[in-house]
Structure 1
């Protein structure tokens, strides 16, 4: 068991010994001169020897004080180096966790721009639809979908999730060039058991049969469903934000202007106590700007 004196007293002594001036030590540590004197007096009482001699308007280290100052200085230098190494290691790697859909439909295409803007930082992307444990896992930030309420996490809204049916131009032409919402009950749907279908159809005024077994293929991820829609395999319920480029370049079309939502959004999340960590702040600012730019382009299209 270590029998060390209070760290606050040792810290005050080390600063005062380095400057041989209580006033300068107090300024460095953000303390008052009286507080520095008090901490050093506690240390002297603990050791049973004086560490400073008071001479007129200055203090001078005693022999015991000089020996202790050398050891304390090396110890604080070692601690400072260890903490600096940890900080540098932490700043050198940004670990991001997000869902498969967000990663593959939008994020992975843009992450390289952040890496180029921050060449000193390695970026690791973890794709998993389960929620990361920020307390127990080595994760810096995440992108989650939900209502934005996760205890212990700060959450910045990226965008609200909305959805509408999309298909390939060839699929639309094959079915007459225009569609009515009620026709969707009979057409091959991609991901037909997705609850978004029922929400969108009800918003469009279509009565959805309760016992109907919907036709279509089940792929599980919006990234797969969008790719299948572009291949002409059916009509998919997709989020326009993720498919803006495919819509603009004609690989997908929106047969209906109607957008529906269930109130959820995509959020950038990180541990509340790490809000001011530089690499997290840099990534947050970059991601919010990227999303805002694409949202503006989508609204203008």
Structure 2
């Protein structure tokens, strides 16, 4: 496929569309002589005059008119295809995030987002810890491992875990001395790694944060995901450590946050997108909405 000099084609299209060499130069942010040079270059390449020139006035030749309609359509298609690759389909955003955030926090709020922004179609995609930050996966991400370089990151919140249990178990605990009474019930621990050795690092960290010692004889049940531990706690199978957003997002109030201190794990969550899409209105809207939602959670749980 042999293409004409594209810069020259662009200059010709703008001159023909604006019917002015001076306006075309201003639009392209170049000199008028540079525009004239590019148009002459294209005419030489085509071996055909594109404009009838008479003093300061000019008009398209028949060949120029036919060529303008063809290249105008082609340049519009090229610009549209480029915009879709750089910025995605207008009004449609694919957001990739962890399943725990999606299921327990974002999905319950989607109705609110759709009500406030009916022109944006938000699609969710699940990711694991080491996500492929590619547009094949999503247009933007919520992650704890923000990439560098071509990506922009906006801080959302820092994870802070609190002991929580189901309503029935809470009835047994609420009049008992805490935290000592915790050790009389199963502790639900989350361990994401596939190591065969079972540990309770989350509960160890919580105890150390409060100057406590985790008893060696306490019963610990292990789960591979926080959603599983949270559901087990809801059904009164023990006490788990969970972030505020889980508790704040539930509609049935079956998970009770115990009146005990929380521990910051050091894990931080970020909203991530390509820097080239920083001015995309849909991305800006979603970013502001996410910030507002977490501010609301913080206000409810502080």
* TM-score > 0.5, shorter chain as reference: yes
Please report how far the alpha carbon of residue 110 of structure 1 lies from its aligned counterpart in structure 2 after TM superposition. Answer: 0.4
1:190 paired residue number: 188
Q: Where does 1:97-246 land on structure 2 (aligned, <5 Å)?
A: 97-135=96-134, 137-146=136-145, 148=146, 150-175=148-173, 177-181=175-179, 184-191=182-189, 193-208=199-214, 212=216, 215-244=219-248
Please report how far the alpha carbon of residue 48 of structure 1 lies from its aligned counterpart in structure 2 after TM superposition. Answer: 4.6
Q: Does the CA contact (< 8 Å) of 2:88 and 2:139 recur in 1? A: no
Out of 64, 69, 80, which is 1:68 matched to? 64
Mark the runs of 5 or more structure 1 residues left unpaired by the alignment: none
Q: Paired residues, what number?
A: 291
Please report how far the alpha carbon of residue 111 of structure 1 lies from its aligned counterpart in structure 2 after TM superposition. Answer: 1.6
Are the structure 2 counterparts of residues 20 and 140 from structure 1 closer, same or farther at C-alpha, using a change threshold of 3 Å? closer
Normalising by structure 1, what TM-score?
A: 0.83
Q: Does the CA contact (< 8 Å) of 1:10 and 1:72 recur in 2? A: no
Please report how far the alpha carbon of residue 266 of structure 1 lies from its aligned counterpart in structure 2 after TM superposition. Answer: 1.6
Normalising by structure 2, what TM-score?
A: 0.82
Please report how far the alpha carbon of residue 249 of structure 1 lies from its aligned counterpart in structure 2 after TM superposition. Answer: 4.7
2:90 paired residue number: 91
SS at match of 2:241: strand
Are the structure 2 counterparts of residues 69 and 213 from structure 1 closer, same or farther at C-alpha, using a change threshold of 3 Å? farther
Q: Does the CA contact (< 8 Å) of 1:179 and 1:255 recur in 2? A: no
Mark the runs of 5 or more structure 2 residues left unpaired by the alignment: 191-198
CA distance in 1, matches of 2:95, 2:120: 13
Are the structure 2 counterparts of residues 128 and 60 from structure 1 closer, same or farther at C-alpha, using a change threshold of 3 Å? closer
Please report how far the alpha carbon of residue 283 of structure 1 lies from its aligned counterpart in structure 2 after TM superposition. Answer: 1.2
Coordinate RMSD, CA, aligned: 3.0
